[in-house]
Amino acid sequence: MSDTSKTVKSDSSEPGKVEKTGGVIEDQTTVAPADDPTAAPVSVVDPRLLVREEGFKGYLTEFKRKVKGGELGQIPVVLGLIVIWTIFQAKNDLFLSADNLSNISYFMSATGMLAIGLVFVLLLGEIDLSVGSVSGLASTLFAVFVVDHTMNPWLSLVLTILTGVGIGALHGWFFAKIGVPAFVVTLAGFLGWNGLMLWLLGSSGTINIPSDSGPVHLLGQNSFFMDQAIIGAYLLAGLAVVLTAIGNFGEQRRRRAAGVPFRPTTEILLRVGALAVASFLAASVLNNASGVSNALVIFLAALVVVDFVLRRTTYGRKVFAVGGGIEAARRAGINVPMVRITVFAISGGFAAVGGMFFAGQTASATLNAGGGNTLMLAIAAAVIGGTSLFGGRGTVWSALLGMLVIQSIQTGLDLLNMNTSIQYMITGGVLLGAVVIDSISRKSQKAAGRG
């Protein structure tokens, strides 16, 4: 949202933008503009605004100001990631090996899908506690469809996801139309849907899903983009870089044509360059292991699509508006209950998709699918990535960055053979830490006039 605000420059020097206050108005007014006695040229830009200096120094001062103002953005994530990777690498030098990093990239996709749905709900300032249970129920439903009813796997996939959407919409309906707090509705869902899953699994406890073809194979551990071709990973990285560059330069051209502030070319090159380094580095690491897993590719594709929906469509704007001020959204003609119901439906849908990813990981539906700390991890991922629990602020990329942190911790603890008790305590601590950072940054944003 605020991407362009970083580059807004004062254009009081541009002659085209300058406008004189008419003398006629001055005569009629009994109250003269207090700070404007000479009828000086008035520009849109307030002269008191701190304007970013040109060049690298400008970036640095702007960056410092933002951090002081509590706009931490992705800084906690990056710092957290560096700390976590350093600690685990020091404890076990297999941690930063290609195979382990590849593992992280594969296993983060499932919980990441839940986190994408949660970002929508968090943007409304609400919470969905049912995503873990819904994901477990989805994997069981899929197994029942495919194994017990010998349905076509792809049809089963569609039905499963639709069920997830329906469940989410039901939560949303109770919240938006009846007025039950979202926290309670989804807490009921957390228990209820988990119960339904246990009932469906019955005494057997586990249903094995054939994994030689269909969606479960696609999401499985041995399914890779372009069948492990070396070029595949680089193709993806190249695609990301080229599309980002085209998008950025296209936007710059349109903004320049329209005469509004645009990003300087050096900044675009810097951004695209950074993305290129990161993505090609990741591609080469994954190629050193066994390639890019299809689960990761689907996760990334979902991120790109959802990011577009949130930032570039009227629906996304409505979600942000409802998260920022319900009354304002209502007065602007936005159908608030509809936005709420659809957001919970989206959350339920992504939970079901995440459940399919879990099913793909184990090629089975089990009693503990979506249980344990799945929900906590998904919430922690979204919040650590920078999406505020208080609504209205955040991006869907926080699901990716947060999951990197969370999955690194999980994989690292597994690598060190820590048992579940320690894992739970550490995950709880990380979630608390993320929320504390969110709350503190919100406080300092208020102090800096940005809350």
Partner 1 sequence: MVHVSATPVLALRGVSKRFGAVQALTDVELEVHAGEVVALVGDNGAGKSTLVKTIAGVHPIDEGVIEWEGKPVSINRPHDAQGLGVATVYQDLALCDNLDVVGNLYLGRELLHRGVIDEVTMEKNARELLSTLSIRIPSVRIPIASLSGGQRQVVAIARALIGDPKVVILDEPTAALGVEQTAQVLDLVERLRERNLGVILISHNMADVKAVADTVAVLRLGKNNGSFPVKDTSHEEIIAAITGATDNAVTRRAGRRTAEAAK
Compute the distance between CA of residue 82 and CA of residue 280 in angstroms, rounded to an integer: 19
* 70's tokens: 């509590």
Residue the block writes with tokens 């048992």:
419
DSSP 17: G
Among 2, 208, 222, 265, binds partner 1 (CB under 8 A): 2
DSSP letter string over 189-244? HHHHHHHHHHHHHTTT-EEE---SSHHHHHTSTT-BGGGG-HHHHHHHHHHHHHHH
- Residue number with CB closer to partner 1 (94 or 328): 328
Residue 323 touching partner 1 (CB under 8 A): yes
- Residue number with CB closer to partner 1 (21 or 228): 21
Per CB under 8 A, the segment of 160-168, 296-304, 326-334, 351-359 that binds partner 1 is: 326-334
Residue 187 touching partner 1 (CB under 8 A): no
Among 13, 15, 23, 35, binds partner 1 (CB under 8 A): 35
Residue 14 touching partner 1 (CB under 8 A): no
Applying CB under 8 A, the site for partner 1 has a residue count of 54
- Pair 130, 379: CB distance under 8 Å: no
Among 58, 63, 249, 251, binds partner 1 (CB under 8 A): 251
Among 114, 122, 207, 329, binds partner 1 (CB under 8 A): 329
Among 260, 278, 281, 301, binds partner 1 (CB under 8 A): 260
* 61's tokens: 């001062």
Name, in order, each residue with C-beta under 8 angstroms of 298's C-beta and a sequence gap of 6 or more: 109, 218, 219
Residue 38 touching partner 1 (CB under 8 A): no
* 345's tokens: 């439906």
Residue 208 touching partner 1 (CB under 8 A): no
Q: What one-letter code names the amino acid at 392?
A: G
Residue the block writes with tokens 């193709």:
235
- Residue number with CB closer to partner 1 (31 or 178): 31
DSSP 149: S
Residues near partner 1 (CB under 8 A) are: 1-2, 4-5, 8, 17, 19, 21, 25, 28-35, 42-46, 48-49, 251, 254-255, 258-261, 312-314, 317, 320-321, 323-325, 327-329, 331-334, 391-393, 445, 449-451
